[in-house]
């Protein structure tokens, strides 16, 4: 079947979710961020609970290894991984948030933050050093298990 217009269609559910998130943010601006963060966080907790059922333990390295299977190694690389820190960099946002805003990235990253909080420990801290959503050339995120 031939596509009838030039609208870019999502190639997977994450891209479709990203389209919805961007449209909500475009329509409602910063007022939508708490809602986006809440819903994304709920999704992350659900994913964290689900992954825990299939893992031998809840160490950061174990959960990070499982998490890494969900991303494309052409766009994301692991900088370091231990039971105290998981550091990754990516050149493409799976949600298509490039050049939107840092605050939108932070709201959507509640998915990953809550995933790790649920699967590893509520003492996981997430630092977003750089993000393609803010126009950086790559994303740079560090998950740290606090004492």
Structural domain spans, the chain: 13-145
Using alpha carbons only, give the angle 116, 19, 7 rounded to the nearest 5 degrees.
145
Each residue's pLDDT expressed in tens, for the chain with a length of 147 residues: 455 666 789 999 999 999 999 999 999 999 999 999 999 999 999 999 999 999 999 999 999 999 999 888 889 999 999 999 999 999 999 999 999 999 999 999 999 999 999 999 999 999 999 999 999 999 999 999 997
Residues 6+ apart with CB under 8 A from 83: 59, 60, 61, 145
User: Spelled out in words, what is the top-level CATH class assigned to the domain 13-145?
Assistant: alpha beta
Which residues have CB under 8 Å from 146's CB, separation 6+?
Answer: 123, 124, 125
**How would DSSP label each residue in 41-80?**
HHHHHHHHHHHHTT-S---HHHHHHHHHTTS-TTTEEEEE
- What is the reported pTM? 0.91
């Amino acid at each position: 079947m031939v596509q009838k217009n030039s609208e870019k269609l999502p190639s997977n559910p994450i891209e479709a979710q990203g389209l919805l998130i961007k449209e909500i943010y475009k329509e409602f601006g910063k007022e939508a961020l708490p809602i986006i963060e809440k819903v994304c966080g709920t999704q992350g907790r659900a994913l964290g609970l689900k992954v825990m059922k299939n893992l031998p333990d809840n160490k950061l390295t174990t959960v990070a290894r499982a998490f890494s299977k969900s991303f494309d190694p052409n766009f994301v690389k692991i900088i370091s991984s231990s039971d105290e820190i998981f550091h990754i960099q990516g050149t493409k946002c799976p949600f298509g948030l490039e050049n939107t805003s840092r605050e939108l990235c932070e709201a959507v990253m509640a998915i990953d933050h809550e995933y790790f909080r649920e699967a590893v420990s509520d003492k996981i801290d997430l630092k977003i050093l750089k993000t393609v959503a803010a126009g950086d050339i790559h994303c740079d995120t560090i998950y740290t298990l606090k004492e």
